Chain A
C-alpha cells in the first residue's frame, strides 16, 4: 500500500483549500474506470471532520496527521490511510476497500461497517465495531467497552485487550481477542477455536499486514443465541 515514487501523487493542503473541495474532487472520481489522480496525499488535516468520506473509486488517499469525526465513512473501493489518530466513527459504515489508522481511533470505529477492512494500528476506544454488518476490523492494540455491541456479521480481531461488555447482544459476528477481556456482554460467550478459525485469524492478520503473531494465541467469542430474538416462538412478535 506504500505509495510508489513513480506514480503521480496529488497533494491537497487543507490549510489552504477547503475540505468540501477535497471531498468533491474525490467524489468526482466515482464510477470512473481509471480514476486520475489515483493517489492523493492530504496534508494539514488538523483534526477536521468528514475527510475523504463517501469515496467510491479505487484510489489511495493518505492523510498526513490527525483527523476528526467520520473519516473515510461509507468508504467503497478506496484505500484510506490516516497517518495519525482518528476521531469518532472512523470508517463508519464502510462498504468495501481498506481504511488504516496508524495511531489510535476514538469511539465507534467501523460502526455498522458492511464490507471491506478497517485496521487500527493503535488502540480503538469504546464501541469499536458496534452493529457491525459484515466488515472486518483488525485492531493491533486494545478496544474499549461495548465493542461489537449487536454485531450482526463480520469479523473483529483484537491483538490487545477488550474492555467491558464485549459483544453484548451479538448476532453472528465473530470476535477474536488475543489479550484479556474485561467482561463479556449479554449472550456473548467464549467458543472453541478450531482450525478453520485459526485460518480465519491468519487470513485477517495477513490482510492487515500483521506478521509474527500466532493465530493460536487468540480466543474466539460469539453469540450463545439465547436472547429473546433467537427463540422461534417469538418470531411472530415482529
Chain B
C-alpha cells in the first residue's frame, strides 16, 4: 500500500500555500505509507539558459558550499543552494544535461534527485508528518506538486527507493501498486541506455516513460504505452513542468480520487487527503476511470 497526492493550483491563494496544503495532504496519507515520504514541487523557473538541480546527500555533514564553489567556477554565476534537510537545490548557469554531467563527474557521492527548469524533488525515510516538518514544506510556494507516502512491498526502504522518481527533465512519477514484469523490462530498458539506481519496480516505470518520451512520444502516448507494456497494479501520477497526469491500470484495484474547484485540481489515493483542502466540501469529486489518461496542464503565458 502507498499513498499518492497531487495538487495543481488555479489561484494565487493556493499557489502561495502550496507546500502547506501538500503537507496536510501527505499527513492524511501517513497510514497508507508510514515508511518514507517524498514530494515533487514545481516553482520558481530557472532563468533562460540556466537549470535547476535537486541533490541529496547521504552524509549529514555535507558541505554544500564546496559544491556551490565548484559550480560557480565551472559555470559562473552565484549558484547559492536552497537547503532543506538532506537535500539542496541549485540553480546552475548552464543547461540541465551539462549540469548533471558535471555533478556526476565531480560529486559522485551526491545523488541527483531531479533536474529541469522548475522541478524540485525531496524524499526521505520516516513518517510523512516528520518529513513535512523536517523539509519545512509549509514555506514552499509553487504552481503544482505531487507527493507520495510509501509502504514498501517489493524492495528496500531507503531514500533512493522512495518516490517520486525522476523520469527526465521536469518529469517525475509516483506510484501506488506493484509491477510484476519489472525485472525483464529493466533489462530491456538498460539495453536502450536507460540507467537505474535501484531494484525498485517504480523506477522501471519511470525509466519506461523516460525512454518513450526520448523516442519522441507525447506524455499521453507514453502513458498509453504503459497499458500494453507494464504488467501489474498501478495508479500513477506523473508531474510535468506545467501540470500532472494520472493513469490507473485496467483492473483498477488501486484507488484514486480526483476533485476540482475554481481554485485547484487535486488527486489522491483517498478523499480524506482532499478533504483538508479549502473548499473541498463543495468540490466536484470523481473517480478516474481505469485505463484512461488524465492530464492537467496550465497554459504557459
Contact = CB atoms under 8 A, between A and B. Distances in A.
A47 B252 contact: no
A66 B290 contact: no
Given A65-B281, A87-B255, A106-B255, A46 B287 contact: no
Contact of B286 (A48, A69, A104, A126): A104
B274 A106 contact: no
Top-3 shortest CB links A-B? A47-B272, A47-B271, A46-B275
B287 A145 contact: no
Contacts of A153: none
Contact count band on A? 10 to 19
Contact of B275 (A47, A104, A144): A47
Contact of A88 (B255, B276, B290): B255
Interface string A90-111: 0000000000000110110000
A47 B274 contact: yes
Given A107-B252, A126-B252, A68 B285 contact: no
Contacts of A145: 252, 290
B271 A87 contact: yes
A85 interface: yes
Interface string B264-301: 00000011111110000100011100100000000000
Contacts of B270: 47, 68-69, 87
A68 B287 contact: no
5 contacts: A46-B276, A47-B270, A47-B273, A125-B252, A125-B287
Contacts, number: 44
A49 B28 CA distance: 12
A126 B290 contact: yes
Interface of A: 46-49, 65-66, 68-69, 85, 87-88, 103-104, 106-107, 125-126, 144-145
B203 to A, nearest CB: 28
A85 B272 contact: no
A125 B248 CA distance: 13
Contacts of B287: 104, 106, 125
B275 A66 contact: yes
A107 B252 CA distance: 9
Contacts of B271: 47, 66, 68, 85, 87
B73 to A, nearest CB: 52
A68 B272 contact: yes
Contacts of B286: 104
A46 B272 contact: yes
Nearest to A65: B281
B290 A48 contact: no
Residue of B257, B270, B271, B276 contacting most chain A CB atoms (<10 Å): B271
A85 B272 CA distance: 12
A125 B254 CA distance: 12
